[in-house]
Structure 1
Amino acid sequence: MKKREKSHSCEVCGSSFACKSTLLRHMLTHTGDKPHSCEVCGSSFARNSTLSHHMLTHTGDKPHSCEVCGSSFAHKSNLSRHMKTHTGDKPHSCEVCGSSFAQNSTLSHHLLTHTGDKPHSCEVCGSSFARKSTLLHHRLTHTGDKPHSCEVCGSSFALKSTFVRHMKTHTGDKPHSCEVCCSSFARKSYLLMHMTIHMGDKPHSCEVCGSSFACKSTLSHHMLTHTGDKPHSCEVCGSSFAQNSTLSHHMLTHTRDKPHSCEVCGSSFAHKSNLSRHMKTDTGDKPHSCEVCGSSFACKSTLLRHMLTHTGDKPHSCEVCDSSFARNSTLSHHMLTHTGEKPHSCEVCGSSFARKSYLLMHMTIHTGDKQHYCEVCGSSFAWKSNLSRHMTTHTGDKPHSNVVCNSSFEVKSNL
C-alpha cells in the first residue's frame, strides 16, 4: 500500500503531515489552545476525542474486559496493551542494549536513557525532562494546584494517580501478591521491588560500608543510617524517623487503631497484611507440601526453607569466621555479632536492637498489647511463644529436662 505524501508542514517546528486536519491538531501543541471543556470538573483539552476519554474518569465505565484475568478497561487500546502482560510479547527491541518492550512508545522512552535527550523544558525554572508527562507533573510544583481531595482525611493531591494510591491507605487494598511468599502490595512497583529479595540480585552498593541492596530506594534509606538524618517527626511525642513509612507505623502506637479484624477468632491488626498472614493460622490452608517428609506449609518460601533441613545445604558463609548458614537472612543477623551494629531503634525510649524482631518484642512493653490468651486461666501474653511456655504450667509438660539418674527405678542388667 502506497504511503500518502506529507505535504502539510508546520511553520513552527517543521513537522510534516499527510492531512491538513492532523496539522491543525498539531498546531494546538504550539498555541496551547484547549477549546474542549469538561462540564463536570472544568478540565480543558485540545481534542474532542481526548475529552471523550476523560469523561470516562467521571462515569467509571470500563466496557473492555480481559478474558484471561477479568480486568476491565475504559479504552480498547488499554486492553490491547494489557493483553501483552499475559502473552509476554515484546516485539520492539533496543538496538543499543538489546532490551525488548511490548510497546513502541515504551521503547522510545527507553532510548532516551542512552541519548540523555530531554526535549521538554519548564518555562518557569528551565528544568528539562525526557517525557512531556513528567514536565506536566513538574509544572504543578510551581502552581501548587491540588485538585484531587480525599473525602476521608481531607488530604489533597496534584495528581490523580497519587490520589488513587493514597486511597489505598484507607481501604487497605493490596491487589498485587507475591507467588513465592504470599506477601501482598498496594502497588505493582512494590511487588517488583520485593521480588528481588527472592532473586537475590543486589546491584546497588553503599560506598561507605559496602552493603548491597536490590533497590536503589533501599540504598537511599540505608544511607540515612550513616548520616543519621531523620526528617520525619511525630507531632504527638516529637520522635523523629528516617522514613515517612516508619513514622506512619509509629503513629499507630498513639492511636492503637487496629481496623482489620479476624472473623474467626476476633484478633485485630493495624495492617491488612498482618491479618492476611494471621488468617493462615486460622484457616489452616497449607497448599505447599514437602515431597520428602510430607510436611505442608502456607507459603512456598517456607517450604523452600524447610527443604534445607533435608539437604543440609548452607550456601551462605561468613567471611570473618567461616560459619555457614542455610539462609542469607541468618547470615546477615550473624554478621551483627562481629560488627556489634544495632540498627533497629525504639522510637519511644531509644533502646536499639540487632534484629527487627527483637524491636517488635520490645515495643509490647510500651504498647501493652497482649493478644494471645490462655483458654484455661485467661492470662494474656504479648507473644505466642510466651503463651506456649505458660501452657506448660497447666499441662506439667517439661520438654527440656536434663537426663539424670532416677532413684525410684532400678536398672536391670543382663550381665
Structure 2
Amino acid sequence: MGKQAGDKAFPCQECNSSLATMSDLKKHTRIHTVNKLCKVCGLSFPKGSKLQKHMQTHKGEKHFPCEVCRNSYSTKSNLKIHMMTHTGEKPFSCEICGSSFTMKSSLKIHRRTHTGEKPYSCQVCGSSYTSTGGLQVHMYAHTGNKPHSCKVCGYKCIARSAMRDHMRIHTGEKPFSCEVCGRAFSARSSLNKHMHTHTGEKFHSCAVCGTAFVTKSDLKTHMRVHTGEKPYSCEVCGSAFTSSSGLKSHVRTHTRENHYTCAVCGSSFATKYGLNTHKIKHTGEKPSCDICNASFSAKSYLKRHMRVHTGEKPYSCDVCSSSFADKYSLNTHTRTHTGEKPYACKMCNSAFNTLNSLKIHSLTHSGEKPFTCEVCGAGFSEKAKVTVHMRTHTGEKPYHCEFCGSTYASRQQVTRHKRLIHGYVKKV
C-alpha cells in the first residue's frame, strides 16, 4: 500500500520529528550535526557557504544598498527580499490560514505554528524554537552578548529587529501607519498595540485590582505595582524600576542624552513623556476629564485624576493594607511607618516626609504668603488654607463627625473635634 499524501513516515531519531520524504529527513538531520560552527555566536550551519554568508552579519559588511531607502544589506539575496517591502510583494502563501510572506523560509517557519514543530533546541537549557533565528537570539541570554550596537548613542541589544526599531528614534522614521486615525509608529508592534485602542480589546486583566491591559507584557509590568518588584536597577545610583523603559529614561538623567526634540522650538528631552508634556505649551491642548471637565498637562495626570471618580486605589501598603490612588501617595504614606523624613530644611534642620511639606515650611522663614483670599485679601502660605478660609465667607462645612454629626470647614477641624470631644484616636 503506497504512502498517502500528507503522511510523514520518516522519523528523526534525535528530536522525534517526522518528515514526508527521505530527502527532507536528510536536510533536517543536519540541524543536529555541527558541521560548521560560528566562533562568534556558536550557531551551526550544514554548509560552509552558509557559514560564510552568516559571518558577514558579524563583520558588518553591507555592499548592497537599496535605491529606494538608505538601508544596505550584506548579500544580494537579502536586498532582493528587502525590495519586496517597497513593492508589497508576498509570493509565498500558507495553505492553512492564508498568511503571505516575502520569503519561502519565512513560510516554512510559519507552518510550524500550525504543526507545533520546534526543531531547533538549545544545548544549554533544552528550550526549543521554530527557527535558527529564534535559537540564536535565545543563546545570547546565556552568553550575555549583545551583538547589535547603536553608533549614535551606544545602545546595545540582542536582535537586529530591535536595533532597527531603535534607530528610528534617531531618524524620526515612522513607517507603520494606522488605517483608522492615521497615527504613525516606528515599530509594527507599537502599531498592533495601538489598534486595540480602536477596538477597545483588553484581554489581560489584573487579578488584584481588575485593571485590563492590551498586552500580556503590560499586565506583567503592572503586577509589579502590587508585588513591589523592581527588577531593573541603575548601575550609577542604584535606583530601581518596574520596567526596562523606566530605567532607560532614568539613565538619561545621568548621561544627559536627550533623544526627543520639539519640532516647534528645538527643545530636547530625555523621554517621550517629557516631550509630549512640553508640546502642550505650543498647542494649548490639555487632556480633560469627561465627568468634571478638569484639564491636565499630561494624559498620565488625567488617568490618575479619573480614580477620584472611579474610587480605584491600586497601590496598597504592605504594612497596614491602606490603599492609594497613585504611587506617590503610597510612597509618602510608607514613611509614616518607617519614620523616614528625607527632606530637610537648610535654615533650621527640620525634616519632612514630603517635598511639598518642606516647601510650605520654608515660607515660615521667608514670611512669604503667596496665596491670597479674593474676598478679604488675607494671605496664606498654602493653597489648601485659602480653600478652607474661603468657607468662612461662604459658610460651607463639607466635613462632618460620624459620631455626632457636627460639621466643619476642614478635615483637620473634624479630627481635632473627634479627639477632644469623643476621645477618638486614629488607628495606624
Q: TM-score, normalised by structure 1?
A: 0.51
Q: Distance in 1 between matches of 2:153 and 2:355?
A: 28
The answer to whether the 8 Å contact 1:140/1:158 transfers is yes
Counterpart for residue 58 of structure 1? 60
Change (3 A) 1:260 1:33: same
Identity across matched positions, percent = 33
Cα distance per residue 1:111-169 (max 9 Å; x no partner): 44444333322223322233333223333344444555666777765555555566667
Matches within 5 A, 1:101-120: 101-102=100-101, 105-120=105-120
Which secondary structure does the structure 1 equivalent of 2:223 belong to?
Answer: helix
Q: How far 1:274 moved relative to its partner?
A: 5.6
The answer to whether the 8 Å contact 2:94/2:111 transfers is no
The answer to whether the 8 Å contact 1:157/1:163 transfers is yes
Q: Which amino acid aligns with 1:195?
A: M
Matches within 5 A, 1:97-136: 98=97, 100-102=99-101, 105-136=105-136
Q: Distance in 2 between matches of 1:226 and 1:349?
A: 13
Q: Which runs of 5+ in 2 are unaligned?
A: 1-9, 292-298, 314-323, 335-353, 360-428
Counterpart for residue 209 of structure 1? 209
The answer to whether the 8 Å contact 2:66/2:83 transfers is no
Matches within 5 A, 1:289-328: none
Find the partner of 1:338 among 310, 314, 321. 310
Q: Which amino acid aligns with 2:34?
A: G
Counterpart for residue 48 of structure 2? 47
Q: Distance in 2 between matches of 1:92 and 1:244?
A: 37
Q: Distance in 1 between matches of 2:326 and 2:39?
A: 53
Which secondary structure does the structure 2 equivalent of 1:117 belong to?
Answer: coil
Q: How far 1:109 moved relative to its partner?
A: 3.5
Q: Which amino acid aligns with 1:250?
A: H
Q: Distance in 2 between matches of 1:271 and 1:65?
A: 33
The answer to whether the 8 Å contact 1:175/1:186 transfers is yes
Change (3 A) 1:43 1:201: closer
Change (3 A) 1:347 1:255: farther
Change (3 A) 1:235 1:336: farther
Q: Which amino acid aligns with 1:175?
A: K
Change (3 A) 1:271 1:120: same
Is 1:247 aligned to residue 247 of structure 2? Answer: yes
Higher relative contact order (CA 8 A, sep 6+): 1
Cα distance per residue 1:282-309 (max 9 Å; x no partner): 6x8xxxxxxxxxxxx99xxx9xx99xxx
The answer to whether the 8 Å contact 2:206/2:223 transfers is yes
Choose 29-38 or 235-244, whichever is displaced more. 29-38
The answer to whether the 8 Å contact 2:72/2:79 transfers is no
Q: How far 1:248 moved relative to its partner?
A: 2.6
Which secondary structure does the structure 2 equivalent of 1:123 belong to?
Answer: coil
Q: Which amino acid aligns with 1:246?
A: G
Q: How far 1:215 moved relative to its partner?
A: 1.5
Matches within 5 A, 1:244-393: 244-253=244-253, 257-258=257-258, 260=260, 262=262, 265-271=265-271, 275=275, 334=306, 336-341=308-313, 342=324, 344-346=326-328, 350=332
Cα distance per residue 1:165-208 (max 9 Å; x no partner): 66667x47553465577766543322322332233222223333
Change (3 A) 1:219 1:89: same
Q: Distance in 2 between matches of 1:205 and 1:11?
A: 42
Counterpart for residue 395 of structure 1? none
Matches within 5 A, 1:142-221: 142-148=142-148, 159-161=159-161, 171=170, 173=172, 175-176=174-175, 178-179=177-178, 185-221=185-221
Change (3 A) 1:206 1:240: same
Change (3 A) 1:262 1:122: closer
Counterpart for residue 426 of structure 2? none
Which secondary structure does the structure 1 equivalent of 2:138 belong to?
Answer: helix
Which secondary structure does the structure 2 equivalent of 1:197 belong to?
Answer: helix
Q: Distance in 2 between matches of 1:88 and 1:280?
A: 41
Change (3 A) 1:164 1:101: closer
Q: Which amino acid aligns with 1:130?
A: T
Q: Distance in 1 between matches of 2:325 and 2:244?
A: 17
Choose 264-273 or 120-129, whichever is displaced more. 264-273
Q: TM-score, normalised by structure 2?
A: 0.50
Q: Distance in 2 between matches of 1:206 and 1:270?
A: 30
Counterpart for residue 36 of structure 2? 34
Q: Distance in 2 between matches of 1:338 and 1:54?
A: 57
